[in-house]
Structure 1
Amino acid sequence: MVQRITVLGAGSWGTAFAKVLADAGRDVTMWARRAEVAREIRERHANSGYLPGIELPANLTATHDPAEALAGAEAVVLAVPSQSLRANLFGWRELLPRGAILVSLAKGVELGTLKRMSEVIAEISGVSGDEIVVVSGPNLAREIAQGQPAGAVLACADHDRAVAIQQASFNSYFRPYTNTDVVGCEVGGAAKNVIALSCGMAVGMGLGANTTATLITRGLAEMARLGTKLGADPLTFAGLAGVGDLVATCSSPLSRNRTFGERLGRGETLEQAQAAAGGQVAEGVMSCTSIRELAYKHGVDMPITDAMHRVCHEAADPRQVGAELLGRRQKHEWS
């Protein structure tokens, strides 16, 4: 049984997942980039900057020192944004305990390299990609931290490692399932952020449930096309890491990508939306570019993803790209 677990990153999802592990009876140490955040978690059992009003368990502590955080860890959870994962992990790689299970919470495709997060982790850490566990599913951080029931998928080619993390994270409100389709889970986790942007934009433009339902289902078709082209199991996209994560992220006002898109749909610039989000850029804003390039590379048609790139990075009008999506060539639904 994996008992001693380190979570590197103290944002909303990293903190929520650390709480999941602690509530499952594990001994959890978090690393926080800012010393004051680590101190608040350690001394006040709170992370008010990311999860205000949530009391953290007594068996969850934190430090600003990565060496201290990683000492003796049996599993290491990487909970930093996708586009900063490489730089952070490069600084930590010499500190990673030999034999520790590496777990990825990041959902994205790296700009430039077009690598999935498990591929980045494998490259920097020297650990085989088959040994890295990927967490995906409908996991809005605040709801999880509140103890609301939720499911998740733990994907790893080495099923025994996925089972070890499953046992370490299972508790009264968090039900994790295992899967060996790492590619499908990672493609779904990254692509759903982009589709959530589009749903937010539709809401921001005053459009209703028919529009968002269409975007969700056509977005699901996009991610499934790309995933299967990369070798994923199509059934993965019918599960928690596919439609489950997509529905939650596209529908909830707790989703940063959806609310960011909503601001863009109301006519705000990227800079204005970022400022309103406390200076943070939603994952989908970056991933729409890398996923678009990955789709081009493999000859996969992803019109919604292309539209989101144009809005976010080419100053295209959301209403104009919406009209273009509606005016595309008519075709069979599954072609």
Structure 2
Amino acid sequence: MASRIAVLGAGSWGSVLANLLTENGQNVTLWSHKPAQVQELNERHTNAAYMPNFEYQHQLKATTDMKTAITGAEVVLFAVPTKAIREVSVQAAKILVSNEQAVTVVHATKGLEQNTYKRVSEMLAEEIPAAQRNAIVVLSGPSHAEDVAKKDITLITAACENEDAARKIQKLFMNAYFRVYTNTDVIGAEFGAALKNIIAIGAGALHGLGYGDNAKAALITRGLAEISRLGQTFGANPLTFIGLSGVGDLIVTATSVNSRNWRAGNELGQGQTLDEVIETMGMVIEGVATTKAAHELAIKRHVEMPITDAIYDVLYNGAEVRSVITGLMQRDGRAELG
């Protein structure tokens, strides 16, 4: 029997996940606050601004009315940028309370809140009353929307402390090309998903400057060490960081032109300013805000994150990319596992 699912957010990832669920036989309603986008999805089954040359399942319904999307749903999937999570979750909570409705909350957003440094699941838990949510499940892993749309083999993680809820989401999403594993380490899954965007900016910058594979491999490896160090101070399982939510997501984001964060770094390495990069990208670059949050959080937690600090200097202090690379390379020698 088909499950009713509301997907909130019709960007590339949200719309492709909605399409996948529809393809899997689920009853999906996709919400967007943009009337023209909803009309395009319903009438032409396209979403050209986010997924050019892709045709969505004709059964997929889109709406600008969040109440229409949520009412009767068993699952509500949040796929909006981190900065919009609170606003959208407040709207959703009002509808759920009014309906006296409880749902499984899922999110596929990768970032940390500015100033509070909270993970997305923490924001959702604060805004959606406990009576209105059966569980909060985190979807993360190496998964570009463009590749999922092409039915490329994709493996991700559904993380939740409630294993039954994780298995429920696993079952909804799995098919011949999209495989889902479960994990109970929500903290690790969210930190891995958020912080890899920082390293992806650095990897793109290296490419823009003309550095080769050795440099990229070094950055990814030492970047993973930073991600793990910070995550573990919050109780994350270190093994999560060598799984899909950690090294898996880091590899795909730090090596692909499909990654907005990689593309942003590449343009910075080629000499563009951050303002120019943001203006031309046209979509949210999660790693820019996450770099600021992680840099400040590392200071508060007394965690050494030299790569994150260097990227912060480039993004927020106007430092020149080559100079911060030189600074990183000339740091005092130390043990790799220290």
Q: Does 1:177 align with 2:164?
A: no
Q: 1:102 aligns with which of 101, 105, 123?
A: 105
* Corresponding position of 1:198: 202
Q: Name whichever of 15-24 and 231-240 sits farther off.
A: 15-24
Contact 1:23–1:171 (CA under 8 A) maintained in structure 2: no
- Inter-partner Cα distance in structure 2 for 1:198 and 1:127: 39
- Of 324, 328, 333 in structure 2, the residue corresponding to residue 325 of structure 1 is 328
**Which residue of the partner structure matches residue 70 of structure 1?**
70
Query: For residues 159-208 of structure 1, what are the alpha-carbon distances to aligned partners after superposition, in whole Å with 9 as ceiling and x for unaligned?
Result: 11111111111112100110000000000000000000000000111111
Q: 1:2·1:165 contact (CA, 8 Å) conserved in 2?
A: no
Residue 80 (1) aligns with residue 80 (2): yes
Q: What amino acid maps onto 1:319 in structure 2?
A: R
CA contact (8 A) 1:138 1:244 kept: yes
Partner-residue secondary structure (3-state), 1:131: strand
1:266-307 superposed Cα distances (whole Å, 9 cap, x missing partner) = 1110111112212x3410000001011221221111111111
TM-superposed deviation, 1:88: 2.1
Aligned residues: 334
Distance in 2 between residues matched to 1:92 and 1:106, nearest whole Å: 16
Name the TM-score, length of structure 2 as normaliser.
0.96
Q: Secondary structure at the match of 1:132?
A: strand
Q: Which residue of the partner structure matches residue 128 of structure 2?
A: 125
1:2: how far off? Answer: 6.6
Is the 8 Å Cα contact of residues 2 and 25 (structure 2) preserved in structure 1? no
1:226 to 230, 243, 263: 230
Q: Which runs of 4+ in 1 moved over 4 A?
A: none
Alignment-derived partner of residue 53 in structure 1: 53
Output the aligned Cα RMSD: 1.4
Task: Specify the code of the residue in structure 1 equivalent to 2:84.
Answer: S
Offset of 1:130 from its aligned partner?
8.7
* Cα distance in 2, alignment partners of residues 320 and 172 from structure 1: 47
Segment of structure 1 superposing worse, 269-278 or 238-247: 269-278
Percent identical residues = 44
Which whole-Å CA distance do the structure 2 matches of 1:66 and 1:268 have between them? 39
Q: Bigger CA drift: 84-93 or 261-270?
A: 84-93
| Distance in structure 2 (CA, Å) of the matches to 1:130 and 1:319 | 49
Gaps of 5+ in 1: none
CA distance in 2, matches of 1:127, 1:109: 22
User: Which of 286, 289, 295 is equivalent to 1:286?
Assistant: 289
Is 1:30 aligned with 2:34? no
What are the equivalent positions in structure 2 for 1:123-162 lying under 5 Å apart? 123-127=126-130, 131-162=135-166
Contact 2:2/2:27 (8 A) holds in 1: no
Work out the CA distance in 2 between the residues paired with 1:132 and 1:113. Answer: 20
Which amino acid is the alignment partner of residue 315 of structure 2? C
